[in-house]
Amino acid sequence: MTTVRIATRTSDLALAQARMMASELERLLRVETELVPLKTTGDRLPGPLTELGGKGLFVKEIEEALLDGRADLAVHSGKDLPATLPEELELVAFPERADARDALVTRPAGGALADLATGARVGTGSIRRTALLRAFRPDLEVVALRGNVPTRLRKLEDEGLDAIVLACAGLERLGLADRIDERIAPEAMLPAVAQGILAIEGRRGDPIANDARVLSHTLTAAQAAAERGVLERLGADCNVPLAAWAEPRDAALRLRACIVHPSGEPIVRAEGEAPWGEAGALGVRVASELLAGGGEALLAALQDEAGS
């Protein structure tokens, strides 16, 4: 029987997600699977990702394993993927999306973002969440936070934080949904590109990669195409506080996107709607509207600030 080797990061969440996909492949394709856990540069290095090199730090070693034949497929969190991929590789499947929203976990439990006290200390490792928190609640003290999900939950207690912001999907996949005190409405915090989406990557034209397309979910694939269309058009990396969320509307998608200065202002927004089959073009169109509506100037300012 064929054994499919699946590359994954070594965090609890990454391993849980890879096991989910391995189980589905075994069920649907009647194959055996083997996980290939890899510690990425992003996992090894401390400090803010914006200062270390961006999202690609979480996929570099995994893609190298695909390219040199140590793995047949890779399972990624969609929001970790950079705008561009190696030419030899492709994203072949997007399984059904989990909750795309951000999750607020508070101390004591039962809190909500709008009700946090003035000056409350809120931890996050995301520049997008930092910017949107400052836009929605400029009175909060936003604290930089790194580490896997269990580590961040421990830091809520150990570092005297009042709340932390994580992804609903990650908590759910780790069986920690009961820790979610508020699923933050997109109107307050628009989700990251492909948040809650798993992406299956393989070698272009490889029979195993083609077979793995059976894992894909039609709506989720359209959402990923729309949201990643924004990312790709902007050429954005993790230095850019970018959010994009494609919401299903019958046979159409409503795509909302924004770029925010890390301070919380200015914020540039754009949105559009199109049939599922035009999702990628919708993403490009909304990104172009972002650029024309002030996003180009904001991106230039962010680039200048990063270089100064």
Which overall architecture, per CATH, does domain 218-308 show? 2-Layer Sandwich (3.30)
Reference 276, options 224, 227, 219; nearest CA is 219
CA 252 to chain centre: 22
129-132 CB contacts, 8 Å cutoff, 24+ apart = 129/102, 129/165, 129/189, 130/241, 130/262, 131/241, 131/260, 131/261, 131/262, 131/263, 131/264, 131/267, 132/188, 132/189, 132/190, 132/241, 132/243, 132/260, 132/264
Tell me which residue of 124, 18, 20 sits closest to 73, measured CA to CA. 18
What tens-digit pLDDT sequence spans the chain (308 residues)? 689 999 999 999 999 999 999 999 999 999 999 999 998 776 665 555 554 445 567 799 999 999 999 999 999 999 999 999 999 999 999 999 999 999 999 999 999 999 999 999 999 999 999 999 999 999 999 999 989 999 999 999 999 999 999 999 999 999 999 999 999 999 999 999 999 999 999 999 999 999 999 999 999 999 999 999 999 999 887 678 999 999 999 889 999 999 999 999 999 999 999 999 999 999 999 999 999 999 999 999 998 887 76
| CATH topology (fold) of 102-183 | D-Maltodextrin-Binding Protein; domain 2 (3.40.190)
Catalytic residue among 80, 99, 102, 211: 80
- Extract the tokens encoding 94: 């997007």
Among 147, 136, 86, which Cα is nearest to 243's? Answer: 136
Nearest alpha-carbon partner for 244 in 261, 256, 232, 259: 256
- Could you give phi then psi for residue 84, rounded to 5 degrees? -120, 150
Give every CB contact of residue 39 below 8 A, 6+ residues apart in sequence.
9, 10, 61
The pTM assigned to this predicted structure is 0.94
pLDDT at 51: 47
**The CATH fold of domain 1-96+197-216:** D-Maltodextrin-Binding Protein; domain 2 (3.40.190)
Half-sphere exposure at residue 37, Cβ-oriented, CA atoms within 13 angstroms: 10
Judge whether 211 counts as a catalytic residue.
Answer: no
Q: Which of 148, 149, 141 is nearest to 117 (CA)?
A: 141
Please give the pLDDT value at position 52: 46
pLDDT at position 39: 86
* Domain ranges (residues) in the chain: 1-96+197-216, 102-183, 218-308
CATH fold match for the domains 1-96+197-216 and 102-183: yes
Give the CA dihedral 177, 179, 181, 183, nearest 10 degrees: -30
Instruction: Specify whether the CB–CB gap between 92 and 34 falls below 8 A.
Output: no
